Structure formats: C-alpha cells, structure tokens
Structure 1
Amino acid sequence: MVAESAHPSSTPNPFVSRSKHHGWAKMDDVPDQSSKKDTTLLEEELPAGTRITSEESVDPIVDSMPESSTAAAETATRSNHWRHHSSNSHHNHHFRVYKRRWFGLIQLILLNIVVSWDWLTFAPLSATSSEYFNVSETAINWLSTGFLFAFVVISPLVIWTLNRGPKEAIISASVLVLLGNWIRYAGTRATGGHYGVVMFGQILTGLAQPFVLAAPTRYSDLWFTEGGRVSATAVASLANPFGGALGQLIGPLWCTKASEVPNMVLYTAIISSVAALPSFFIPEKPPTPPSASSALPKTPLKETISHLIHTPSFYPIFIAFSVYVGFFNAFSSLLNQILEPYGFTETQAGICGAVLIVVGLVFAAFTSPVFDRTHAYLLGIKLFIPVIAICYLAFVWAPQTRSLGAPYAIAAILGAASFALVPIALEYLVEVAYPASPEAGSTICWAGGQLLGGVFIVIMNALKEGTLQVVEGGDGKGQGPGDRPPGNMYRALVFQAVVACVVMPLPLALGIKRLGLGAGAVKGRLRLDEAGEAEAEGERQEDGA
C-alpha cells in the first residue's frame, strides 16, 4: 500500500471515514477494565495529510503461498493491512470492551433457555399429554419434530438477519416466542385441548429458535476479544439445552395428571414472556470494536457462502455436528419413551434428561475457559468425539438393567462430552472458514442438527416395537417383562449407536494435510487478533520507555 502526501484540507482521513461508515464512532463510554486480555490496540488513523492510493503493496507472506491457500492468504493480507496501519499511527487508541456487552449476552442466554424449554414442554409427559389431547404418543412426538423442522425452514432468513447484526435476530426471536407461547396456552385451554392450535404455537416457537441458537458466534465476534469468545459462545449456546433440562425436570413436577397440562403451559408462557421483553432494550453494537478482526468490515453474505462451500474442512465439521446434535435432540425428546417400557417413571426419565444436561453444563463451564486460553480447538474435538460415540453405543444396553445407575452415569458422560464439544466446534469452524462471516457456518450447522434431529425422531419412533403397557394409576410406568418389553426402543438405540460410530472418523481426520483437511493448522481470525495484541504490547513498551 502506497502512502502519498496530500493537502490536509482536501483529503479526509480514510480510516475515520471507514470507521464512521461501519458504525465504529468514538463515544465517551467507560470501558470494562476487568481483563487485561480485553484491551488491545485500536486501528489508528494515519497522520493528517496522508491518503491511500489504489495501489496495494504485496505481502511477502501472501506472495509465497500457493493459490490453493486462499484462506491463509486472505488472513495474511488482513494481518499485513493491520500492521501497516498501526505502524503509521501517531495516536495510541486501544481496542476496548464494554460492560454493556453482558446485558445482551444475558438476554441471549435467557431466550435460549425459554425457547428450548418450549421445545420440550410436552416430550417428558408424552403419556400424560397424549391422554389430555386424546391423541397418540406419536402425535406428541410431532410437537417436538415440527419444532425442529421449523428451524430449517427459516434458516436462510436467519443467516441474512444475523449478517446485519445480532440485535435484529434477538428481537425477532422474542416476538415469535411471545406469540407462540400464548397461542399454545389458548390451544390447551380450549375444551378438551385443541391439538392443532398447540401445534401452530409450537411451530412459532420453533421459528424463534434459530435466531438465538445461531447468534452466539456472531454476538461474541461483535462484542468480545479472542480471550473471551469461546466462553461467551459456550454460555449462550449451552443455555439452550439447559432450558431443555428445566423442561424435562420441572414439567413432570407441575403436571402430575392430564388435567394439569393447561396450567403447566401457562406457567411456561409467563416465564417466556418475562425473559423475552427486555430484548427490545439491548444495545445494537459496541461504540468501538473489541479486537482487530472486529474492526474490519464483515465479508458480504454471498462471498461468505461461497467461501464456506470451497473450504474442505467445513464438510467434516458440518456432517459430524449435524449428526451428533441431531441425535442429542432425538435422544432428549424420546428419553421418556426409551426408559418407560423397562419400569422407569416419567419423573425418573426427566431426572435422567436433567443429569444429561446439568452435568454437561458444569463440565463445559470448566473446559471453555481452558480453550479460551489455549485455543486447542482441534485437540478438544478429537478427544470428545470418540467419547460421544462410545456413550451412544453403551446406552443400547442401559435401559435393560432396569436400574437408575447405568442410564444416569452414561447420560452424565454423554452430556459432559457433548456440551464441551459444541462451543469449540463452532469456534474452530470460524477459524478454518475465516474470513467468512461467523453466523453463516453456525446457522448452517445448527440447521443440519435440527433437521436430522427431526428425521431421527421419526425413524427411531418407527423402530419402536409394540405398544407400551402402562400401569393403571401409575406414573406412566411400563410393566413388560424381559429385555424386549412391549414398546421398547432397542432397535432405535442400535440405529443411533451405529450411525454415531460410522460418522466418528470424519472429524478425527481434521488437520490431516494429506487428506486436504490441514486448514486447522492455520489461524484465521486469531492470527489477525494476535497481530493486534503484539502491536499493542509494543506500543505499551515504547510508552513505558
């Protein structure tokens, strides 16, 4: 890039203009100084009287790369672009993060909790709900399945909305959550329960989910530095299954008989409304960017999709993420029906679902900060994927023990590995696909998981053997003898285990260059941010001298 002299009054500073164009205006706001890692050098202005011509200098790093290394070349170009700007600066501005970022993050957490709670409102009470609405358990399963398919239908709009900014997506989700919950309540209050109205409300809440479930990577990229993105993505993403755990655990406590179904839906609607209303007041974006990569304009949507399609490492991540999220969704939805034929109650099945999720959340709370510091995303993926596959295999025989120990223990390990995997897989995808905007890959992966989750529920329900024999006056407890009692889902569990094990080698191949999957060795967004940190440290040392 060539800098030439120009008259100060005739040529405006290009970086001031670009900053204003992208919304990074200077404002008198108090930065959050809670973390030294969250303070890095801001892209600075060139001296007055300097303009940039259209001629770009060639980065020697980029010039020496093969044409196939497009992602690495783009990263190196942006890194060199950053270094050139900062080296010509006369004023020491710093990147900063703001306390207001927590307001938006908390709102994202709350919405993910209630939207997942909405998803599993009826699944833990399949027998009780089918009695109230006078429909089959398969029809109750379709309340969960329709919710998942709704995610896929609206995903293109979600990608477009998130590309514009996370606030619009969060508000869209809030409106749909409010409408969906109160329509569901109206359906349950109708005489005898109106299943069709409830399904319509359930689909509206399903349309809300992708706006908040796919938002964490976009939100953390906009508001957090590289030292906090994994944790921010983790806490917002994993709030979603936490809401499912609450639904699994609290639903059976609120609804012990069919006549209590409307009250349960009412309580859920009130909680969802309280969680959704603050969305309209969250800030749109920070006054100044938190990192070097955040200061650059986002890649346009069309170029982002094209870049994802031409990134080989995207496909193993997408397939594995979709399959394992799909099975997690199906497993959570069908857990009650998996266990009941062997004598487990709805309450015990709900507790098993809560163990699956709560243990996962606790474990992820420990692992996410570690990966924030080490950025060892690929190592984490290769550690957790085999554990998940083995757990699905082991659960084939867990219900047959007719004791709580085996299902609870396997569910705890499965939850720990699954929850620790989600944020690092999403952040790893951002790195290998950089400079693709993060919301596209995230939304596509989540859409794949929701689509397969719905498909797996249909397949596993079709593999059910016979009809459940329910104990009269009991808590939905089955009473069939032997290892294959009526209504058992043994064949469904075998299907789940086989597919989980077949998919396992795909993510394990990531990072192997001879397979064309060596992109994991290249830091995309991290490389740019680390260059910014290095410049900031140099400036601080010069100032200290």
Structure 2
Amino acid sequence: MYKRRWIGVIAIVILNLVVGMPISWFGPIANGTADQFGFTLDEVNWLGNSVGVVYIAVSFPLPFLFSKFGIRKVSLAGAVLVLISAWVRYAGTISSLSPRSSYALILIGQILLGIASPIFQVLVPSYSEKWFDLKGRTTATMIMALSSAVGSAIGQLASPRLGTPRHSVLVLAIISTALAPIALLIQSSPPTPPTFTGAQENPTYMSLGRAIRGKQQLDAPTYMTIRQRIDFLILILNFGILVGITNTFSLFTNEVLAPYGYSPGTAGLMGATILIAGLVGATITAPLFDRVLTHHLARTCKTFIPFLAAAWLSLIWAVRPDDTAALFTIMAVIGISSLTLLPVAIELACELTRNAMASSAILWCSGNVFGVMMTLVEGALRAGPDASPPRNMKRALIFQGTIVCVGAAFIFLFQGKQARRENDERDGRKMAVACGAVAMGECTAQTSEV
C-alpha cells in the first residue's frame, strides 16, 4: 500500500468536480440563459443533454484506450479537452455574436466536455482495484465516484450566484483552467499490487461480451454464471434509471419549480441538499461496507432502492406552491439513498463481472442513455402557456416517478454474489498459508543449525 495512492484519488476527485459542474451549470439559470442569448428552453436543455449523448459514444472505447495508453496518458488527454471546452464555451458568450453562432460555440464546448467527462468516471473502479486492498477499495470508489455528483451540485448552486449567465461561464472557464493541470499527478498503477485482482491485467470488452452471452470458458477469471448475468442486467437497468433521472432533474430543476413560485436560488439549494445529505450518508456507510458490511452490498440495494423510488414518486404531489419544507426533506432522502448506492452499484458490477473498467463504462453509459431519453420525454411533456400554472411539468414528474418504480421492482430479484471479493479473500488466505510455511521452514532450518 503506497501513500501516493491518495494523491491520485485527490486528482481524480478534482477532475470529476471540474467536468461535473458544466453538465448542470445551465439548469438553474435556464430561463436567464434563454433570455440573454436568445435561445429556447429546449436549446438550453440540450446544452446539458449533449454531454450525455457524447458520453454514450465515448464511454465504449475508453477501456481499449486505457489498456493501450494507460490511465495517466488518457487522463492527461482528458484534461486538455477540459481546457479547450471551457474556452470554446466562453467564446460563445461574446456579445457581438448572433444567437445561432453563440449557441453553436457553447454547444461545441459542451460536446468537448462530453468527450472528457467519461474518462474520469470510468477509471474510478479500476484505479481503486489497482491501488487499494479489500479494506479500502469501496471507500476509495465512493470518494472518487461521488465527486462527479458533487461537481454537478456545485454547478447547480454556483451558477445562479455568479451574476449574469455570460459572466458565470467566464468564471467556469477560469476554474477549469486552474484545476485541469492536476491530471499530471495521476499514475497508472503501483509498483506492487495490493491484491490478487489488482495484479491482473484489465480484462477486455470482448471477454465481458462473451461472459454475458454465456460463451466464456468455465475456467476463465471473468466467467459469469446465469445468475450473475441476470444480476448484472438488473444492475444496469436500475443504475441507468436512477442516474438518468438524477441528471434529468438537475437540468429541469428550475423549470420544474419556477412555475410554482420558487426562485433559481431555491432550486440550486435543493440540488445542494441532495449533495450534502448524500455526502453525509455515503461518508458514514462506505467505511462500513469495507470493514463491517463487506458481504451485504446486494442487501443494501434491496433496502435503499424502494425508499428512493418512493421519494421520486412523492414529487408528483410535493411540487406545489409553498411546500419548501417537504421538498427539502424529499431531496435529503433522495441524496442519502442515491449517493450511498452509487459506489455500491459500481463495486457490485465489478464483483459480478471481475471486469472493473468495462463494467463501469457500461453502467455510466446506461445512466446517460436513460438521462438523454428522459430529458427528451420530459421536455415534450411540459405543459403549454395556457396551463395552470403555465408551463408546469406535472406530467414529467408522473413519468419519472413511474419509470423509477418499474425499475425498482426488479431489484427484489437481485442476488448480487460478490465473486471478486471471494476470489481475493481465497487467494489472500493461500498467500498467508504459503508465507506461514516459508516462515516455519526458515525457523526449522535455523533451529537445526543451532
């Protein structure tokens, strides 16, 4: 175990913060952005939605790139893209540009960000696997995986408080420029791996594809039983729905709440409530999963997901005038449940597949697929100007509540055997026995000499 593993964790956290902020940046200021630049609300929504679309395409080749060039080089490339995207986005805010030219440049900046953002999310479980042992792996994954959500929440909270939308985009570019170079601190792997799994080369997409289709050899490290394949599909479905619905809500926060008299600042605070409550919950539970509840990750999913589904469903009735206390309470429940489950789901995918990089890419891709679909559907479900209140999103809330409840029903079929941990524990015991035998032999030899 090397102390410098934490330097890499800090760097990945900061980079995930940087790429997380622009995704939700325009959500709380959607109306102001549309008015200042001459965009429509649907166009503003696509500034966040475009990141998810690009993410879907980029996430699949990432495991190949990491295998060929290593975590460090790919991370440096991602940092360069973050810098370019920040200033292309700011170039689109120049007042002399026409609305179409302005929108094109801001959209290009968001697309470049969409290329960079999956890099720092997909590598998280693989970095934990390479640098941490069984007593710290889930905690490390939690710290890094949640940082993107933290960045998104910071974006929601900061954008309404930094002056005009044009000025806020400049501040975002300065922050990105100051923090992107920290990618230089990321190292690909330690000189000596901490676990048996950490010593293995990253399995390929092809091996995971064969395992899911049942074509993998029985003696292969990534072989999956029928039960594990079903569990992985259930995990993909629930992860996709829950991440997608959270991303969509972050884009529509202002549009959902504004018709009922809530200000952009209040909308941002509700996003921050999800973050703060979630961080508290995840900080408490992640060490417990590493040291106490080590074999109960699946049971955690079965416990938390029904509460999470109920919270999303309750927004149908809670989004109304003068119901601030209830909304903040629901946001807290969503935050605690969501952010606690996020690292658990990522670790469970690695446990089921023994393929950290590919399984992480598939999960995050699923989240963005559902996010894009939900954004399009919920935008289409927005009420017209003659509704009461005008342009409310009641039907969108009904849609998202129904979808999350349907996905949650499948979690009761989930078993979630932690095969990777069993392999590491078994090989750890074998190593301990071997070391004990060697030590005993040396002791016997020394006794004979005496």
TM-score normalised per structure 1? 0.74
Alignment of 1:244-323 (within 5 A): 244-255=152-163, 260-310=164-214, 311-323=229-241
Q: Report the alpha carbon displacement of residue 536 of structure 1 after superposing the two structures with TM.
A: 4.9
Q: Which residues of structure 1 form unaligned runs of 5+?
A: 1-96, 469-479, 512-519
Cα deviations across residues 212-264 of structure 1 (Å, max 9, x unaligned)?
11111111111111211111111111000101111111111102xxxx32221
Q: Secondary structure at the match of 1:507?
A: helix
Tell me which amino acid in the other structure corresponds to 1:301: Y
Where does 1:476-515 land on structure 2 (aligned, <5 Å)? 484-511=388-415
Alpha carbons of structure 1 residues 178 and 308: separation in structure 2 relative to 1, 3 Å: farther
Q: Which amino acid aligns with 1:264?
A: S
2:423 to 504, 523, 528: 528
Alignment-derived partner of residue 360 in structure 2? 442
Q: Share of identical aligned residues, percent?
A: 32
SS of 2:28's equivalent?
A: helix
> How many angstroms does 1:451 deviate by?
1.6
Map of 1:420 onto structure 2: 340
1:286-321 per-position Cα deviation (integer Å, ceiling 9, x unaligned): 011111121233333321332244422211111111
Match of 1:372 in 2: 290
Shift in Å at residue 442 of structure 1? 0.9
What amino acid sits opposite 1:422 in the alignment?
L
Alpha-carbon shift at residue 276 of structure 1 (Å): 1.1
Aligned to 2:118: 210
Q: Which amino acid aligns with 2:196?
A: A
Provide the residue aligned with 1:341 in structure 2. 259
Which residue, out of 37, 54, 73, partners 1:168? 73
C-alpha distance after superposition, 1:440-477 (max 9, x if no partner)? 11111111111210111111111111239xxxxxxxxx
- Correspondence for 1:474: none
- Matched with 1:233 is 141
On the 8 A contact 1:177/1:208 being kept in 2, the answer is yes
CA distance in 1: counterparts of 2:315 and 2:67, whole angstroms? 40
2:380 to 462, 467, 470: 462
Indicate conservation of the 8 Å contact 2:204/2:358, yes or no: no
- Following the alignment from structure 1 to structure 2, what is the Cα–Cα distance between the partners of residues 234 and 125? 29
Alignment of 1:172-191 (within 5 A): 172-191=77-96
Inter-CA distance 184–461: structure 2 relative to 1 (3 Å threshold): same
Alignment partner of 1:198 is 2:126: no
Length-normalised TM-score, structure 2: 0.89
Q: Distance in 2 between matches of 1:416 and 1:309?
A: 35
> Which structure has the larger Rg over C-alpha atoms?
1
Paired residue type of 1:487 = R
Tell me: CA distance 1:301–1:459, structure 2 relative to 1, closer, same or farther (3 Å).
closer
Contact 1:172 1:211 in 2 (8 A): no
For 2:221, the equivalent position in structure 1 comes to none
**Matched residues in 2 for 1:252 and 1:494: separation?**
27
> C-alpha separation between the residues in 1 aligned to 2:319 and 2:23?
24
Counterparts in 2 of 1:397 and 1:184: CA distance versus 1, 3 Å: same
Separation in 2 of the partners of 1:180 and 1:157?
Answer: 20
Q: Which structure shows the bigger proportion of residues in helix conformation?
A: 2
The C-alpha deviation readout for 1:59-108, integer Å capped at 9, x for no partner, is xxxxxxxxxxxxxxxxxxxxxxxxxxxxxxxxxxxxxx111111111111
Is the 2:254–2:267 Cα contact (8 Å) retained in structure 1?
yes
Query: 2 CA distance for matches of 1:167 and 1:407?
Result: 42
Distance 2:85 2:183 in 1: 16
Once residues 394 and 301 of structure 1 are traced to their aligned partners in structure 2, the CA distance between those partners, rounded to angstroms, is: 39
The size of the alignment, in residue pairs, is 420
2:245 — aligned with what?
327
Shift of 1:189: 2.1
Shift of 1:494: 0.3
The whole-number CA distance in structure 1 between the counterparts of 2:28 and 2:304 is 27
Asked whether 1:157 is paired with 2:75, we answer no
* Amino acid in the other structure paired with 2:273: V
Of 239, 242, 250, the residue aligned with 2:150 is 242
Contact 1:308-1:441 at 8 Å conserved across structures: no
CA distance in structure 2 between the partners assigned to 1:190 and 1:162 by the alignment: 40
How far apart in 2 are the matches of 1:294 and 1:529? Answer: 9
Tell me if the contact between 1:327 and 1:496 (Cα under 8 Å) persists in the aligned partners.
yes
Whole-angstrom CA distance in 2 between matches of 1:382 and 1:98: 35
Cα distance in 1, alignment partners of residues 385 and 33 from structure 2: 16
Task: Provide the residue aligned with 1:106 in structure 2.
Answer: 10
Structure 1 position 171, deviation (Å): 1.8
What is aligned with 1:41? Answer: none
CA offsets, 1:104-142, max 9 Å, x none?
111110111111101112111001111111111111011
Aligned residue number for residue 25 of structure 1:
none
Partner residue of 2:34? 130
Alpha-carbon contact 2:26-2:251 (below 8 Å) kept? no
Aligned pairs for 1:85-104 within 5 A: 97-104=1-8
Instruction: State the one-letter code of the partner of 1:243.
Output: G
State the 1:352 CA deviation. Answer: 0.6
Give secondary structure in 1 for the equivalent of 2:13. Answer: helix
Preserved contact between residue 130 and residue 199 of structure 2 (Cα < 8 Å): no
Task: Decide whether the 8 Å contact of 1:166 with 1:218 is kept in 2.
Answer: no
- Structure 2, gaps ≥5 residues long: 215-228, 444-450
Rounded to whole Å, the distance in 1 between the matches of 2:431 and 2:210 is 34
Q: Is the 8 A contact 2:34 2:40 kept in 1?
A: yes
What code does the residue aligned with 2:8 have?
G
Q: Which region of structure 1 is more displaced relative to structure 2, 278-287 or 129-138?
A: 278-287
Q: Which amino acid aligns with 1:224?
A: F
| Structure 2 CA distance for aligned equivalents of residues 221 and 305 of structure 1 | 21
For 1:249 and 1:457, the matched residues in 2 are separated by 20
Paired with 1:325 and 1:394, the residues of 2 have a C-alpha distance of 18
User: Would the aligned equivalents of 1:305 and 1:440 in 2 still touch at CA under 8 Å?
Assistant: no
Name the residue aligned to 1:430: 350
**Whole-angstrom distance in 2 between the partners of 1:465 and 1:110:** 39
Measure how far apart 1:540 and its partner are. 6.7
CA distance in 2, matches of 1:120, 1:324: 16
* Cα pair 1:162 1:218 within 8 Å, conserved: no
- Say which of 276, 280, 288 aligns to 1:362: 280
